[in-house]
């Protein structure tokens, strides 16, 4: 299964209905749309708003995504939690529901020692038989996880058992440092949303986990990179980077992707569970439209 965990695996947006419940019909349409754009699998993670779901709702979302996925590619389920007990429970539920891998972050509200973090991870890894992706989510929250510790995780659990999604800057240099520290064995996903993809791909990542809204651009860029077409990759990378750089923080990223999914007819409504720290105003919307058109023009030359 580990060899299937590669390529373009977008993190789904969680649609909510007018009662603020998970809209399973809209979710299924979103996942169909993603596969129409040739993704290799799907992910449930932080930008799926899992931090604003109850534990039972997170399990409901796991089951809904796995059902809607219909075996078309691997499903990676985020199980990060402040409590080791909760993270372990979510991981076991994800595997029992048919997930192909789980992804875990360090506790976000508590600064723990490296020994405590290792114990937290070990308690999850030992309870599941599927691969575990360790996400350093410090691009959004928390403290960066050292290269040394990430390399130690790969050594301790094995490169096929424990994969990495580093996000701390400078990302490209971190990818190279981790690969050097693991003798090239680490299997690493880009976690930049596409901003650093040109750089991280050339350094040796195995895949990327962007948002769902611009997956058509990330897919085109990934294909260009794998085919050695650096000119096309740069042509897509420049407007993609400009577009994503307009969005501040986790709430900004969620607001932006839901706005774009609604504009593309994928989701019926951009509802986000509150409280939220960022909303798109008229000026931001106008600039997003200009940048999005530049990106569409660049992708028009991507290989099919």
From first to last of its 304 residues, the chain has per-residue pLDDT tens of 556 899 999 999 999 999 999 999 999 999 999 999 999 999 999 999 999 999 999 999 999 999 999 999 999 999 999 999 999 999 999 999 999 999 999 988 888 889 999 999 999 999 999 999 999 987 666 678 999 999 999 999 999 999 999 999 899 999 999 999 999 999 999 999 999 999 999 999 999 999 999 999 999 999 999 999 999 999 999 999 999 988 888 899 999 999 999 999 999 999 999 999 999 999 999 999 999 999 999 998 655 5
CA 214 to chain centre: 13
* Backbone Cα Rg of the chain: 18
**Beta strand residue intervals within 15-74, DSSP E:** 42-44
The answer to whether the pTM exceeds 0.85 is yes
State how far the Cα of 13 lies from the Cα of 43, in Å rounded to an integer: 10
CA atoms within 13 A on the CB side of 177: 15
Q: What does the pLDDT read at residue 248? A: 83
Mind giving me the DSSP string for 172-218? Answer: HHHHHHHHHHTTT---BEE-STTTTHHHHHHHT-SEE---STTHHHH
111 vs 99: CA distance, rounded Å: 29
pLDDT value for 301: 62
> What local confidence, expressed as pLDDT, does residue 140 receive?
62
DSSP 22: B
Domains of the chain: 2-299 (3.20.20.70)
pLDDT confidence of residue 112: 86
The whole-angstrom distance between residue 50's C-alpha and the CA centroid of its chain comes to 12
CA distance 30 to 15: 9
Other Cβ atoms closer than 10 A to 143: 12
């Amino acid at each position: 299964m580990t060899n299937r965990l590669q390529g373009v695996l977008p993190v789904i947006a969680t649609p909510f209905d007018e009662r603020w419940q998970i809209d399973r019909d809209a979710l299924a349409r979103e996942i169909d749309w993603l596969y129409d754009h040739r993704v290799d699998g799907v992910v449930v993670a932080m930008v799926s708003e899992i931090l604003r779901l109850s534990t039972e709702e997170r399990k409901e979302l796991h089951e809904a995504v796995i059902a809607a996925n219909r075996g078309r590619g691997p499903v990676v389920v985020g199980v990060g939690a402040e409590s080791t007990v909760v993270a372990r429970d979510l991981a076991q539920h994800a595997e029992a529901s048919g997930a192909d891998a789980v992804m875990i972050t360090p506790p976000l509200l508590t600064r723990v020692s490296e020994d405590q973090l290792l114990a937290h991870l070990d308690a999850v890894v030992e309870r599941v038989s599927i691969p575990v992706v360790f996400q350093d989510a410090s691009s959004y929250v928390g403290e960066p996880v050292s290269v040394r510790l990430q390399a130690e995780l790969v050594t301790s659990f094995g490169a096929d058992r424990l994969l990495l999604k580093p996000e701390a800057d400078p990302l490209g240099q971190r990818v190279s440092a981790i690969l050097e520290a693991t003798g090239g064995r680490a299997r690493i996903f880009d976690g930049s949303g596409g901003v650093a993809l040109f750089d991280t791909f050339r350094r040796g990542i195995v895949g990327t986990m962007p948002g769902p809204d611009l997956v058509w651009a990330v897919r085109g860029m990934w294909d260009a990179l794998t085919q050695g077409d650096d000119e096309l990759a740069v042509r897509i990378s420049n407007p993609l980077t400009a577009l994503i750089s307009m969005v501040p923080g986790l709430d900004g990223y969620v607001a932006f992707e839901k706005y774009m999914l609604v504009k593309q007819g994928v989701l019926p409504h951009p509802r986000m569970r509150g409280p939220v720290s960022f909303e798109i105003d008229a000026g931001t919307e106008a600039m997003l439209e200009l940048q999005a058109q530049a990106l569409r023009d660049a992708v028009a030359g991507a290989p099919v």
